[in-house]
Amino acid sequence: MNAARQGGCACGAVRYELKSAPFDAGWCHCRICRLTSGAPAMVFASVPAGDLVFTAGADKVRRFKSSDFGHRLFCGECGTPFAMQVDHQPETIDFSVATLDEPDTVEPGFHIFYASKVAWFETADELPRHAEFRRDTRGLGGTKPTH
């Protein structure tokens, strides 16, 4: 078992494992991330859709429609937000890096929805800061979903 690729929720009911190395790790400062996490921002990374496997408590995982283009997955027992599925990126799933057992192993490489950032929250990095989505976001095809 690769400890760096396992994670879970606060109450321990749900555990997951990543079957491949995460990519596209980045901060998101959007309001939906704030509401679902109760924190000023979240860090997500992606794996192919089938590569996030729930190894315990899969029946406890709940999902809700968090925007007109996506769903969020969370522990139905304790509320820990695990992941996000975006309609225009069906081939991947974005998971919350902070829920990994060893989150130090996945470093964010950019910020999105920086224009929505909480004024008093800033991270000490020189990473690219995008006002909304990155210009090259997979699946957008030049359009911009509402949020």
For the record, the structure tokens of 21 come out as 């190395």
DSSP 6-64: EEE-SSSS-EEEESS--EEEEEE--HHHHHHHSSS-EEEEEEEGGGEEEEE-GGGEEEE
First to last CA, the chain: 38
Tell me the C-alpha distance between 95 and 126, whole Å. Answer: 23
Q: Report in angstroms how near the CB of residue 120 gets to Zn ion at its nearest.
A: 18
Q: Report in angstroms how near the CB of residue 70 gets to Zn ion at its nearest.
A: 9
Tell me the C-alpha distance between 39 and 122, whole Å. Answer: 13
Tell me the C-alpha distance between 123 and 6, whole Å. Answer: 25
Positions that interact with Zn ion (CB under 5 A): 9, 11, 13, 28, 30, 33, 75, 77-78
Between 33 and 45, CB nearer to Zn ion? 33
